[in-house]
Amino acid sequence: MNTANTASKESSSRKPAARRTQEERSDATRRRIVQSAMRLLHKKGFRATNLQEIARGARVTLGAVQHHFSNRQVLMERLIDEVMAPLSDDGVVWPSSELSLEERARAFVRVAWETIYGAPGYVAAWSLFFGCKASPELFVRIDANRARSDPVFFDRFITYFPEVAARHPKPQQFAGFVFASLRGMGVLDLFEVSQEEVDGQLEVLVQVIVQAGTARG
């Protein structure tokens, strides 16, 4: 058997590795820059998240950052869209309507916490929100995004928990209370909070939802 010919055939039969297009490379670079900025927001806060530090964390030059994001404001606008995207997704947290009220409440609270409010990026989001208070243009963007997403979340909550809509005197406000509770727990995660305490608070929220859906007026 001719080993050289066999090796040559095997080599020629392999498909060449697909080369990334310029746009794909640019997308990957932008993603690294955004991820670096998110890490800095989480670790150091809004003011300390400057372009030089972001470039260092993304392992690119400052010029590369400025090529993709012409200035800090443009990058912050991208970060606002990035951190608020999970908060605007009205499909990820909702449980099956076939579950009982308590099962739905527990599934909703667990998934909302694990995918949004208890995720590391949520603390970075609040750092961005607080920091943008000093930048009116950026804060207007955040507020507009919130104004669009909050009513959607509240309406979805009432849809998936019709018992609350039927029995609570102010279901829309109750939905707002539920999300405010999750947001508050997410901010509390800045501090050293035991998993036992978090689990206990989440269970209390589950029972509050169940009670709102079973209480007689």
pLDDT digit string, tens, across residues 59-89: 999 999 999 998 888 888 888 777 776 655 5
Among 94, 40, 29, 93, which Cα is nearest to 65's?
29
Among 215, 207, 212, 176, which Cα is nearest to 102's?
207
Q: Which domains does the chain have, with CATH numbers?
A: 22-70 (1.10.10.60), 72-217 (1.10.357)
Where is 61: in which H helix or E strand?
none
DSSP letter, residue 59? T
Residue 209: burial class (beta carbons within 10 Å; 0-12, 13-18, 19+)? buried
Bigger pLDDT: 17 vs 196: 196
Distance from C-alpha of 21 to C-alpha of 188, rounded to nearest angstrom: 43
pLDDT digit string, tens, across residues 169-211: 999 999 999 999 998 998 887 788 899 999 999 999 999 999 9
Give this prediction's pTM: 0.71
Distance from C-alpha of 217 to C-alpha of 158, rounded to nearest angstrom: 17
59 in the Ramachandran plot: left (φ > 0), alpha (ψ -120 to 50) or beta? left
Bigger pLDDT: 185 vs 2: 185
Q: How many residues does the chain have?
A: 217
